[in-house]
Amino acid sequence: MSDGSMRFVIHEHRGRALHFDFRLEAGGVLKSWAVPKGPSTDPKEKRLAIRTPDHPMDYGTFEGVISDGQYGAGPVIVWDTGPYENRTRKEGKEVPVEDAIELGHVVVWLEGSKLRGGYALTFASFATGDDGWLLVKEADAYADPSGDPVRSEPRSVLSGRTLDDVERLG
Ligand code: MN
């Protein structure tokens, strides 16, 4: 049962390239995907999401500069965070997020400061022979085909800082 106490975090991170790290609390860790273009509010947009290693829960509030020489060196902000609910169902029953990841399909309901409503992550094999996940907004009351929060809302929801602020001031 979802009790609404699980958290999601989206870090904006300028490492070798700009990307957004989409993280879902599950099993006491942050299950993570790197989303090069960031999340969309348009249900027609499929955003590539690449699974990355689990992170500890306390990383969910990290903001700062990962130092030179470290993996992912560059500035990080908490672009969005809030509670989420697992809405993954199979034959009418809730599928725990960890199982849903194994099965390649996860549906969540986000209650963030910027992102709200349903999002689906679905594993896909591409014609190129590569595989990865696709992050897609569900068609609900929070869908907004003309919105682009990645561009229009660049500030940290924790500190109000941008990536450039963090890079300049540490
Ligand atoms: Mn990252």
Q: How far is the CA of 93 from the centre of ligand 1 (A)?
A: 33
- Closest CA relative to residue 116, chosen from 67, 153, 167, 162: 153
Confidence category of residue 4, pLDDT binned at 50, 70, 90: low
State residue 74's pLDDT score. Answer: 96
- Closest CA relative to residue 101, chosen from 155, 159, 32: 32
The residue assigned the tokens 């963090």 is 166
State residue 2's pLDDT score. Answer: 45
Confidence category of residue 5, pLDDT binned at 50, 70, 90: confident
Q: How far is the CA of 15 from the centre of ligand 1 (A)?
A: 7
pLDDT in tens, 35-70: 999 999 999 999 999 999 999 999 999 999 999 999
Q: How far is the CA of 76 from the centre of ligand 1 (A)?
A: 8
Q: Does the pLDDT of residue 1 top 70, yes or no?
A: no
Q: How far is the CA of 19 from the centre of ligand 1 (A)?
A: 6
Burial class (CB in 10 A: 0-12, 13-18, 19+), 98: middle
Q: How far is the CA of 163 from the centre of ligand 1 (A)?
A: 13
37 and 132 in contact (C-beta within 8 Å)?
A: no
* Distance from C-alpha of 25 to C-alpha of 7, rounded to nearest angstrom: 5
Q: How far is the CA of 1 from the centre of ligand 1 (A)?
A: 30
Q: Does the pLDDT of residue 147 top 50, yes or no?
A: yes
* Distance from C-alpha of 41 to C-alpha of 127, rounded to nearest angstrom: 26
Over residues 2-30, the mean pLDDT reads 92
Q: Does the pLDDT of residue 13 top 70, yes or no?
A: yes
Amino acid at 103: L
